[in-house]
Amino acid sequence: MIDRQVTGLMGHGKLSAPQADREGARLSAPTVRRRRLGTKLRELRDDLGLTLEDVAELSKGKVTVAKLSRLELAKSAAKPADVEMLLGLYGAADDEMTSALVDLTREGAQRGWWHSYRGILTPTYEDLISLEAEASTIKTWNLGAVPGLLHTSEYAGAIIRATAMSEAVEAKVDALVAVRLARQSVLTRSTNPLTLWAIIAEGALRTKDVDGEVMYEQLGKLLSMSKRDNVNIAIVQSDAPLHVGQLGSFSLLSFAGRADLDVVHTETLTAALYVEDRDQVAVYRDAMERLTSAAESSQASAELITEIRKAL
């Protein structure tokens, strides 16, 4: 993904708000994290056939009907203690599930490094960065550009300028490049680094719209990052048969191996959207598997990147 949702220019997808209400939406609009948590809590309750009133009674006053409703509808942030209590009531004995949901809540209460950039980032972009920080694996399909988590600073600047649709973006390129590079720390952190599967269309590597030297260094970074155990890069060649990826780029973010917590991030020219419905996410998961099958092996991809780089 080229991550265009970098300033107030971009919409919020399903969370869109008028420009005049932008700051209020930043503070109160449900985040992807809260929606995912609320949806899962509601699913667990429904699976047991419990009503909101039933849960309030079982909790012996620890949670009210109104509070539980707000949590499930993502209208208020949950506390780890509340989530642990509810999971206990629901008999959620799956330690991995419990850990994932509690971590989701706890991390949501923390302030990340990106908060210092709030003057230039939309809430949607903040969501993306925070989800990248929490995800265990990201699988991304990139039709027209190298994914942001693998950018060099020069390539990032070139892409941001090329896709800018307002003077506001053009005035903040340096800061936006800094954000993009800072995001890449998830790949190199010492504890549980993110596993990245990047599938890239060959055409994105052969673009004539990026300076040759810039592209040479960018391809070099791809080769360097592909040597990391947690980074896998595969290229879909230009002469590959027609495939589902030609409909557009997208990323699938996974958390602690729990497929039911997966979320898809995709972009249009005017909005960045998150797909959270389980059935719709499954469609994207299947699409990613097809793209993986269509791509060259890691070794063959590295050889192709090297060949393209030498020709520059």
CATH code for the domain in which residue 256 is found? 3.30.870
**Cα 79 to Cα 195: distance, rounded to the nearest angstrom:** 28
Q: What is the pLDDT of residues 207-231, one digit of tens each?
A: 988 899 999 999 999 999 999 999 9
**pLDDT at residue 110, as a whole number:** 59
* pLDDT at 131 > cutoff 80: yes
**Cα 201 to Cα 13: distance, rounded to the nearest angstrom:** 25
Helices (H), the chain: 22-28, 32-47, 52-58, 65-72, 80-89, 95-108, 123-134, 153-163, 167-170, 173-183, 185-188, 202-205, 212-225, 278-294, 298-310
**Is 281 in the same domain as 223?**
yes
Return the number of other C-beta atoms located less than 10 Å from residue 34's C-beta: 21
Q: What is the pLDDT of residues 57-68, one digit of tens each?
A: 999 989 999 999
Tokens of 251: 């990323």
* pLDDT at 158 > cutoff 90: yes
How far, in whole angstroms, is CA 221 from its chain's centroid? Answer: 21
| Mean pLDDT of the region 131-149 | 95
Question: What are the Cα distances from residue 181, in Å, to 5, 155, 285?
Answer: 16, 11, 27
**Is 229 in the same domain as 127?**
yes
**pLDDT at residue 28, as a whole number:** 34
Name, of 6-10, 126-130, 153-157, 269-273, the range with top average pLDDT.
Answer: 153-157
Tokens of 175: 């800061």
Residue 18 lies in a domain: no
Residue 204 lies in a domain: yes
Residue 11 pLDDT class (50, 70, 90 cuts): very low
Residue 22 lies in a domain: no
**Cα 206 to Cα 169: distance, rounded to the nearest angstrom:** 25
Domain span at residue 87 reads: 32-108
**pLDDT at residue 9, as a whole number:** 32
Residue 94 pLDDT class (50, 70, 90 cuts): low
Q: What is the pLDDT of residues 19-60, one digit of tens each?
A: 333 333 333 345 777 787 888 899 899 999 999 999 999 999
* pLDDT at 199 > cutoff 60: yes
| Mean pLDDT of the region 127-147 | 93
CATH code for the domain in which residue 86 is found? 1.10.260.40
**Is 102 in the same domain as 122?**
no
**pLDDT at residue 3, as a whole number:** 60
The mean pLDDT value of the chain amounts to: 85
* pLDDT at 233 > cutoff 80: yes
**Is 58 in the same domain as 81?**
yes
**Is 50 in the same domain as 122?**
no
**Cα 260 to Cα 212: distance, rounded to the nearest angstrom:** 43
User: What pTM does this model have?
Assistant: 0.79
- Among 87, 108, 129, the domain-final residue is 108
Tokens of 16: 């869109």
- The count of structural domains within the chain is 2
**Cα 16 to Cα 201: distance, rounded to the nearest angstrom:** 31
**pLDDT at residue 176, as a whole number:** 93
